[in-house]
Chains A and B, each alone.
Chain A
Amino acid sequence: MSRDLMEGSEAIARAAIDADCRFFSGYPMTPFTELLENFAKSLPARGGVCINAESEIEAIGMAWGAAATGARAATGSTGQGLALMQESLSEISRAEVPLVIFNMARGQGDYYQATRGGGHGDYRLLVLAPTDVEEAVYLTQLAFHLADHWRHPVLVYGDYLLAHTRQAVEITPTDFGERPDKSWAVDGSLGGTGRSRNVNSIGMQKGTKGIDPEAFWDRLQKKTERIEAAEVRFEEENCEDAEIVIVAFGTLARFARYVVRELRAEGVRVGLFRPISLWPFPSEALDRATSNARRVAVLEQNAGQMIDDVRLSILGRVPIVSIGGISTDAAGFGIGPLLDAEVIRARVENVFQEGAS
């Protein structure tokens, strides 16, 4: 067992390749660029393909084609590039093509984009939000497993700090059991047999004219419900007797964890609830974790997006306040003054004072 010091971008690319990712395509954009660089450096050497696409739209098209052949494939960008990919993401989810997408976002302003579908029509992506490089390694490998298992796109939500923080990590392939059957994937072999495949997003069947939209949508909706029931992931710390429960995800949750531990050591009854799956959102778990709380404080680096899901989980039972906000640097990379334990601690203390008065 050896631990290597490496940047998040390198760790994620290595974890993906260890998970048998065979194809990656992307278009450079900070802070996603280094992820593309690492795939370009490592993937061809391991027998895979990494293409520098002409645009994000083409990047996801290429990854779609690769994934439709049954190969594990991934693409990514920042939220801006992801915006260009939304039409494809929507169709890929309906075509039930397993694909992993990385958003190395500029802060947490892409929460809605990630969790509300983002594109046209009725769908959600599975969304995993690692809080540090070590968890990113695990969740990257899990993402490929879940994509195959559900035949559904899985988005990994990172940011500048996740991509560029150097951390000592150990990358070992996680065993998720037997790989699911991929006889649905195209390889050309069934041509002329009358059983050839059509990987499509509208429910077209070979040999049958037209489609049966009711049956098609019913099946997809039932799958969505099964994912919602099965793939909820979260972490909670010190919530049981907490007067104030902080809800935070990703990088910001790491700062919140530090503050919670510091305050606990001083005898302050504060807890942290961290959604790991942003969709499906851990609503029931959050409701339970806040059953003794006086206040729920939502810490997110945006104008208030995840707070909607917190409200829908708690349904007015406990007052909910926002202690986050838009916070960025001049370059717009999302490295704002909010990313500071002292700033966050002050805001948490403020919630205690408000609650007391």
Chain B
Amino acid sequence: MSKRRNLPVLNTENAPTQPARQTGEFHPGLQLTADHDLCPGCGEPIALRILLECIESLGLAERSIGVIGIGCYTALTSMIDVDLIQALHGRAPSVATGAKRMRPENLLFTLQGDGDMVNEGLQEVLHTAARGENVTCILLNNGVFGETGGHMTATTVLGQRTKNTIDGRDADYHGHPILIADLIAQLGGTGYAARGSVHDAPSIQRTRNLVLRAFENQMRGDGFSFVEILTMCPTGWFIPTPEGPDYLNEVLAPVHKLGELKSGGVHAPTESES
């Protein structure tokens, strides 16, 4: 906060020549710039940094292919220094499947939002998991369509206010949220499934470990791997930016519970089988 107080007072007579948002010099090795175009308080750039640092730390920088869905995070693709395929909304898992089958030696990951994966493309991710496809699907879940301005998705929790659930999501009228990581953990082809978050430093550190384990699972050829990351979206939640982390922790995380849901590879028993 002290940095903020030292900012020069804006001269209102002239148009500003610098962007209003402050960005540092630091960025991960696989990220081309430190700047991004997403809203202040967004959790997605944090998740991206985790992802890119995990790829680098596993020494997979020159073997990785990402398949990107359509959402706010799509604007990040121009700064990701990894080979990418841009998929249609919902379709990243099947595109990743085709690429992985042709290049089994590569790390194949997808990056999708909750609207992309759980609304539009639910069938894709479930079948890719059931096939035991050796790819890693990463879900950035903020419980809203952020890019359209905060509308209900399939993961919006009960009571959550969105632009098309003005009085809060009502189970009788809008139905129930899908707990996608829990669903995927039940499928026979899944080798690893976990849910993390980026709302504070410890959760970021834990999520980094989840992503590492998912990637390691893939490189062992041990079935489908999945990491859901809860991310802040103060813009789509209609709350002040600093309240994003607490809102995530108090509203989303009690429903989409954090932790590992399946580990040990595709041959480890799922809950329903054990």
Contacts and interface: CB of A to CB of B under 8 A. Distances in A.
Interface of A: 22-23, 25, 49, 51, 53-55, 57-59, 61-69, 71, 73, 87-88, 91, 95, 186-194, 196-202, 204-210
A206 B78 CA distance: 4
Contacts of A95: 86
Interface in B88-140: 88, 91, 93-103, 106-107, 123-124, 127
A222 B100 CA distance: 33
B170 interface: no
12 contacts: A51-B97, A57-B91, A64-B87, A64-B94, A64-B95, A65-B102, A69-B98, A189-B63, A190-B62, A192-B82, A198-B77, A204-B78
B85 to A, nearest CB: 5
A198 B78 contact: yes
Contacts of B32: 194, 206-207
A66 B81 contact: no
A48 to B, nearest CB: 9
Interface residues of B, number: 44
A134 B272 CA distance: 53
Interface in B46-96: 55-56, 60-65, 67, 75, 77-88, 91, 93-96
B85 A199 contact: yes
Contact of A192 (B62, B97, B99): B62
A188 B82 contact: yes
Contacts of A91: 88
A207 B63 CA distance: 20
A326 to B, nearest CB: 33
A88 B89 CA distance: 10
Contacts of B127: 54, 58
Nearest to A53: B94
A198 B83 CA distance: 6
B192 to A, nearest CB: 21
A23 to B, nearest CB: 6
A198 B106 CA distance: 16
Contacts of A53: 94
A201 B127 CA distance: 25
A35 to B, nearest CB: 18
Given A54-B124, A62-B95, 20 more contacts: A23-B98, A25-B98, A57-B94, A65-B67, A65-B99, A67-B98, A87-B88, A186-B85, A188-B64, A188-B82, A189-B62, A190-B83, A191-B63, A192-B29, A194-B81, A196-B84, A198-B78, A201-B86, A205-B78, A210-B78
A73 B98 contact: yes
B63 A188 contact: yes
B125 to A, nearest CB: 11
A188 B107 contact: yes
Nearest to A186: B83
Contact of B95 (A65, A204, A207, A208): A65
Nearest to A63: B98
Contacts of A199: 84-86
Contacts of B75: 209
B83 A197 contact: yes
B160 interface: no
Contact of A188 (B37, B83, B94): B83
Contacts of A58: 91, 94, 97, 123-124, 127
Nearest to B127: A54
Contacts of B98: 23, 25, 51, 61-69, 73
Contacts of B60: 191
A30 B47 CA distance: 45
B165 interface: no
B6 to A, nearest CB: 28
Nearest to B99: A65
B63 A209 contact: no
A68 B78 contact: no
Contacts of B235: none
A87 B67 CA distance: 17
Contacts of A198: 77-78, 83-86
B39 interface: no
A186 B123 contact: no
Most buried by A among B60, B78, B123: B78
B178 interface: no
